[in-house]
Structure formats: structure tokens, C-alpha cells
Amino acid sequence: MEAPKEVGLEDGYVLYVIKPLYGIPEAGNHWFGTYHNHHRDKLNMTQSTYDPCLLYSNDSIGIVGLQTDDTLIVAVERFAHLEQEQLGKAHFMAKNREQLTEDHPLKFNGGLITLKGDKIYLNQEKQCNNIRMVTPGNVDMHGTRGKVRKNVTSKNQYVAQRARGAYIATVCQPEASYHLSVAAQVIDPKEEDAVKAQ
């Protein structure tokens, strides 16, 4: 595969792709399917009836939340050990496990999870700070990973902002889901729609 110019390699260099990670639209589906099937098949987990991203185990208490290629686990030590062992056997590349404590918050899917006493808090400040008004014409947009998308049309601004709102609503503020569903009805926004919304 020829390296993109943004990588900064000299002419003549070639990239060898081992596994798809980020940057291709299907990468998220690939990793979600891979981890989802792994947890179901190797850890005998059951998918929740209301959310395919949530799996649970009755054998040894374990609850796993999947978000593309990121996992959040609530488990007894026995399940946590088994999960780590099975990841190793499957040869998955994975970050070291971290444990939530009052002194050690966790980052999960762009959010910060903190423990204070017997309460757990999820802060989505990074996502919230990236929400912007859709503006007429083309603009440069900042992504959550620090990259800048150049010359983004009003339509694509709308789609990006709708996705950001959807994420925040479903994770932090389920009561906002109605407004999100209204926004989702506009599947092909026109330039004048962006102007009307202001």
C-alpha cells in the first residue's frame, strides 16, 4: 500500500498493513465483530437483549461493554483473569488492563471515568467541546483525535455534529435521544438547512 502524504515518508516507501485499525470506514465494524464474537465464544458471554454492545456472564460475574475496539469491564477477579488469558490466546493486541480507583481515573472512548466514594462519574468534556454550530459554506473541523478535516461542507458538518450529539446523548444524557431522533430524520441536509438552523 502506498503511504499517504500525511505520513511524511519519502517517495518509494511502501506500508505493509498487518490488520486494519483506523481510518477505514469498516475498521470499527471489523473490531467490534471480532471482540464481540470472541467474548461470546471464548468467554461464554450472553448478549444483552437491549444492547448488542453489552455482554454478561453468569458463570463468573462479568459484564463487558464494547465500543468499537475499546472494552469496559465490571468483573470479579476470576472473570478478569479469564478474560485476560483468552485475549492472550487469541493473540489480540490490547492495552494493559487498568483498574478504576479514587486515585486512578480511566479513559474510555474519549470519556473520563472517575470514582469518588461510592459514586462513579463519566465526563465527556472532550466530546462536548467539539460540538459546533453548522455554518454555511466549507470550514475546517477539529476531530476528537486532534486531526483537522479540511474544507468540510455544511452537509458533512451536519452529519459530524449529529454523530457527536448522538454519542453524547446515548452515553450521558438519554433524555436527549428524542431530539437526536428528530435530527436523524434529516438525512440529506441542504446548504439552506444549515442557515435555517442558526
CA 129 distance to own-chain centroid: 16
Side-chain half-sphere exposure of 150, counting CA atoms within 13 A:
1
User: Within a 10 A sphere around the Cβ of 165, how many other Cβ atoms?
Assistant: 19
- Lowest mean pLDDT segment, chosen from 25-34, 58-67, 118-127, 141-150: 25-34
The span from the CA of 118 to the CA of 104, in Å, is 14
To the nearest 10°, report the CA torsion of 18, 79, 55, 23: -20
**Does 173 map to a domain?**
yes
Q: Which of 88, 84, 61, 90 is nearest to 74 (CA)?
A: 61
Range of the domain at 164: 130-196
**Does 4 map to a domain?**
no
**Does 88 map to a domain?**
yes
**Does 119 map to a domain?**
no
Where a domain ends, among 45, 79, 97? 97
pLDDT of residue 56: 93
With bands split at pLDDT 50, 70 and 90, how would you rate the model's confidence at 3? low
90 and 140 in a single domain? The answer is no
138 and 88 in a single domain? The answer is no
pTM: 0.60
- Looking at the structure of the chain, the number of domains it has is 2
**Does 66 map to a domain?**
yes
2 phi, psi to nearest 5 deg:
-75, 135
